[in-house]
Amino acid sequence: MTKRSAILAGFIALKFLLQYFLISPEYELHRDEYLHLDQANHLAWGYLSVPPVTSWLALIVSWLGNSALTVRFFPAFFGALTILIVWKTVEELAGNLFACVLAATGLLFSVLLRLNQLFQPNSVDVFCWTALYFVVISYINSRNNRWLYIFAVVFAFGFLNKYTVGFLLIGLLPAILLTDQRRLLANRHVYLAMLVSLLLVMPNLIWQYQHAFPVVHHMKLLAETQLVKVNRLDFFKEQLLFFIGSLFIIITGLYALLVYKPFVNYRLFFFALIFTLLAFTYFRAKGYYAIGIYPIYLAFGSVFISVSVRSVWLRIASLAIPVLLFIPLFEVAFPNKSPEEIVRHPERYKQLGLLRWEDGKEHPLPQDFADMLGWRELAAKVDSVYAHSPDPAKTLVLCDNYGQAGAINYYTRQPIRAVTFNADYINWFDLDTKYTHLIRVKNAGERSGELKETGPLFATAYAADSVRSPFARERRTTIFVFEFANVDINQRLANEVQQERW
């Protein structure tokens, strides 16, 4: 193994080590992860909010035992692949070992350490953006048409993972038209590659058509409930924070694209960043949607710094800055302290506004961390209630949100398939089973009238238990039991499903 390969292997090993080290064992999986893991039990070419790639990864996780360790491996794996791609980009740009190390350091100590902790489409998304930019650079260098077909395959994979990869093309196309690379559009292989990509994503497009394009409904709902609240100025502020320690490398890379002669063929990347950010801003995208843009610019900046900075001390300083600026983030940005410790020392979290949840109130833990607690307790208590049902096979577990349903299905030791009228679960009701009993999992703030409203429909009704984990967002979520229905539960469920569907 060469020295360069050994150092690269060291970065990848450190990446995996940090991803596991930065999560305290008190924390469980995040509520969003349970939904994505449950998709493995309902394989399809599409879902309400995401395309199918996450479900394929969830299926692999289930084959490997479905442990939290395995769940966390895959986002870390795609984070490691992103480091590998950036390293190879530096080499493609004729960068030396120092440039490779600088780019890898800037990428390692960034927002990706948090992003790559969670089993969501985002880790794959960032990898795909980086890989697609690398492919463009490789094509510019070689003019080998095979890179166009590689681009088509990677783009299709990225599209089947998360639709926002389409913004990469929105930013790239006008950038190509503004530079000498516009001659690329005269190459017939570009259009053949586009056809390949279209064929690869066609199953998902057909699924969308067959289901009345739920992605349109989802985006409309997102725009009305969440994106409308996105402040465009805040979007740009967030961009500065994602790679705060390596921001100087990214800015240097943008400058180099304008003035450094060896980069003249890559100038389209300067304009691509501008057009892509403008597109995200126009659509009021959430700040983290744009994270995938930046890794490739670490490669440009690192190469330029390596040829412009000769001082050993300045080089050491450039390597130290990402690490030093990461230290304050280490203290607050990761669930690496127990809930009790955070509650005992809330000062830094409070100063940064991390204890304020989306309800506008102050809470003991950051919302993201509270979303990683209480799930195992909820599932165990539902299991206990389910086991004592008069007829478990005819008992439906109905939850208020996808986190509850997904967590119960992940941890259960009973033959439970919990559902909810929330997210993808709206399509996962088994109405072929004739239900006579109901276990109702209700959010803390919505539980008060449950016995009064639902109780008369059953011979027996009572509150069985609740989540008592003191710091969980699901604290006081209550488990209600309703037995021996005197109405047709299935018909009521069918009507509700029909109303809730787009």
Asked if 320 and 360 sit in the same domain, the reply is: no
**pLDDT bracket for residue 212 (50, 70, 90):** confident
Q: Compute how many other C-beta atoms are within 10 angstroms of the C-beta atom of residue 28.
A: 23
Asked if 193 and 248 sit in the same domain, the reply is: yes
Asked if 305 and 344 sit in the same domain, the reply is: no
Confidence check: pLDDT of 359 > 90? no
Query: How many independent structural domains does the chain possess?
Result: 3
- How many angstroms from the chain centroid is the CA of residue 217? 20
User: What is the DSSP code (8-state) at residue 212?
Assistant: T
* Cβ contact 404:418 at 8 Å: yes
Q: Evaluate the CA torsion angle 198, 200, 203, 204 in order and state its sign.
A: negative
Paired sense of beta strands 458-466 and 478-485, if any: antiparallel
Average pLDDT over the chain, rounded to an integer: 93
Phi, psi of 485 (to 5 degrees): -65, 140
Asked if 387 and 309 sit in the same domain, the reply is: no
Confidence check: pLDDT of 227 > 60? no
Structural domain boundaries, residue 50: 3-332
Mean per-residue pLDDT, 163-173: 96
Residue-level pLDDT at 229? 59
Asked if 351 and 412 sit in the same domain, the reply is: no
Asked if 147 and 58 sit in the same domain, the reply is: yes
Asked if 328 and 343 sit in the same domain, the reply is: no
- How many angstroms from the chain centroid is the CA of residue 389? 37
Asked if 436 and 411 sit in the same domain, the reply is: yes
Question: Is 364 exposed, middle or buried, given 0-12, 13-18 or 19+ CB atoms closer than 10 A?
Answer: middle
Confidence check: pLDDT of 228 > 60? no
Whether the model pTM is above 0.85: yes
Express each pLDDT in 181-194 by its tens digit.
999 989 999 999 99
Asked if 345 and 284 sit in the same domain, the reply is: no
Asked if 279 and 311 sit in the same domain, the reply is: yes
Phi, psi of 420 (to 5 degrees): -155, 160
Q: Where is pLDDT greater, at 242 or 300?
A: 300
Residue-level pLDDT at 240? 87
What is the number of residues in the chain? 502
Express each pLDDT in 273-305 by its tens digit.
999 999 999 888 888 899 999 999 999 999 999
3-class DSSP assignment, residue 162: coil
In 3D space, the residue among 104, 71, 99, 64 whose CA is nearest the CA of residue 85 turns out to be 104
Side chain identity at residue 292, one-letter code:
G
Of 17-31, 217-231, 352-366, which range is least confident? Answer: 217-231
Express each pLDDT in 51-84 by its tens digit.
999 999 999 999 999 999 999 999 999 999 999 9
Q: Compute how many other C-beta atoms are within 10 angstroms of the C-beta atom of residue 285.
A: 19
CA-based max dimension of the chain: 82
Confidence check: pLDDT of 408 > 80? yes
Asked if 126 and 270 sit in the same domain, the reply is: yes
Express each pLDDT in 433-467 by its tens digit.
999 999 999 998 766 678 888 889 999 999 999 99
Asked if 82 and 154 sit in the same domain, the reply is: yes
In 3D space, the residue among 126, 122, 145, 125 whose CA is nearest the CA of residue 135 turns out to be 145
**Tokens (6 digits) for 79:** 């984070």
Residue-level pLDDT at 310? 92
Q: Where is pLDDT greater, at 219 or 320?
A: 320
How does DSSP assign 373-388, residue by residue?
SSHHHHHHHHHHHHHT
Query: Measured between alpha carbons, how far is 92 from 50 in angstroms, rounded to an integer?
Result: 33
Residue-level pLDDT at 220? 67
